């Protein structure tokens, strides 16, 4: 069975990377193989996580290389060297250029901590999303896996899972629950579905 080579892109703590890796190790992504982690921050804790599970990684630091085009050139070289077929964004905060997205058309996935199209677009990331959801007074939020396109958070939706908003929620408690109940559940599932499709396992 052909396994699709996956690279995970992270900027921070790598909790989603860990969840994806755990799912993969548990056999929940049989058509894929996590072979690489790339970060745009030298101090990202995700690098320690990758090291611990012996996943090779590369840093293309935003501070060292502020020019996006130059940074993406290095990223593409690192991805191509390893024969990467699917890119999974897991808290990757650099906005990818339209040229980069086009190069990997339908092969870049992202997870957003809300039910898109609600609380999506520019500036909506991390705790900002949960702050906005609480401020709006919604009773239900969740997570969305989508294909990355040139439009921020505007690509085709692959999976969504709802999470109840509780009366005493803070952005932090909501963030943790959305991760546990939605993100860590649907992201590995969506990754497997895409890998299966790319490997020819399902049309």
* Closest of 59, 60, 62 to residue 47, by C-alpha: 59
The full set of domain ranges for the chain reads 4-198
What's the token pair of residue 128?
A: 């900002």
Question: Distance (Å, rounded) from C-alpha 53 to C-alpha 67?
Answer: 31
| Active-site entry in 31, 112, 130, 146 | 112
Q: What is the mean pLDDT of the chain?
A: 95
Task: Give the model's confidence band at 2: pLDDT under 50 very low, under 70 low, under 90 confident, else very high.
Answer: confident
31 classed as catalytic? no
**Is the predicted pLDDT of residue 141 greater than 70, yes or no?**
yes
Task: Give the model's confidence band at 201: pLDDT under 50 very low, under 70 low, under 90 confident, else very high.
Answer: low
Residue with tokens 């997870």: 111
The pLDDT tens digits of the residues spanning 13-40 come to 999 999 999 999 999 999 999 999 999 9
Please count the other Cβ atoms lying within 10 Å of the Cβ belonging to residue 197: 14
Sign of CA dihedral 112, 115, 121, 124: negative
> Is pLDDT larger for residue 93 or for residue 35?
35
The pLDDT tens digits of the residues spanning 78-92 come to 999 999 999 999 999
pTM for the model: 0.94
The pLDDT tens digits of the residues spanning 31-70 come to 999 999 999 999 999 999 999 999 999 999 999 999 999 9
Question: Distance (Å, rounded) from C-alpha 203 to C-alpha 198?
Answer: 9
Determine whether 198 is exposed, middle or buried from the number of CB atoms within 10 Å of its CB (0-12, 13-18, 19+).
middle
The predicted structure's pLDDT at residue 203: 43
Q: Is there a cis peptide before residue 34, judged by omega within 30 degrees of 0?
A: no
The predicted structure's pLDDT at residue 122: 87
* Closest of 4, 42, 18 to residue 192, by C-alpha: 4
What's the token pair of residue 22?
A: 């755990």
The pLDDT tens digits of the residues spanning 145-173 come to 999 999 999 999 999 999 999 999 999 99
CATH number, span 4-198: 3.40.50.170
Task: Give the model's confidence band at 119: pLDDT under 50 very low, under 70 low, under 90 confident, else very high.
Answer: very high
Alpha carbon distance, N-terminus to C-terminus of the chain: 15
Cα maximum dimension of the chain: 49
């Amino acid at each position: 069975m052909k396994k699709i080579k996956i690279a995970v892109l992270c900027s921070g703590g790598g909790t989603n990377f860990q969840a994806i890796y755990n799912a993969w190790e548990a056999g929940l992504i049989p058509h894929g193989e996590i072979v690489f982690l790339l970060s745009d921050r030298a101090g990202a804790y995700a690098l320690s996580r990758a090291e611990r599970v012996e996943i090779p990684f590369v840093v293309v630091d935003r501070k060292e290389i502020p020019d996006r085009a130059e940074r993406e050139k290095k990223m593409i070289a690192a991805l191509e060297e390893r024969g990467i077929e699917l890119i999974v964004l897991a808290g990757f905060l650099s906005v990818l250029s339209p040229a980069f997205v086009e190069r990997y058309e339908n092969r870049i996935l992202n997870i957003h901590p809300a039910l898109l199209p609600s609380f999506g677009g520019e500036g909506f990331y991390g705790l900002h999303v949960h702050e906005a959801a609480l401020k709006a007074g919604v009773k239900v939020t969740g997570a969305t896996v989508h294909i990355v396109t040139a439009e921020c958070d505007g690509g085709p939706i692959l999976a969504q899972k709802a999470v109840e908003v509780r009366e005493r929620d803070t952005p932090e408690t909501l963030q943790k629950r959305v991760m546990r109940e939605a993100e860590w559940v649907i992201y590995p599932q969506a990754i497997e579905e895409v890998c299966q499709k790319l490997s020819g396992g399902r049309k």
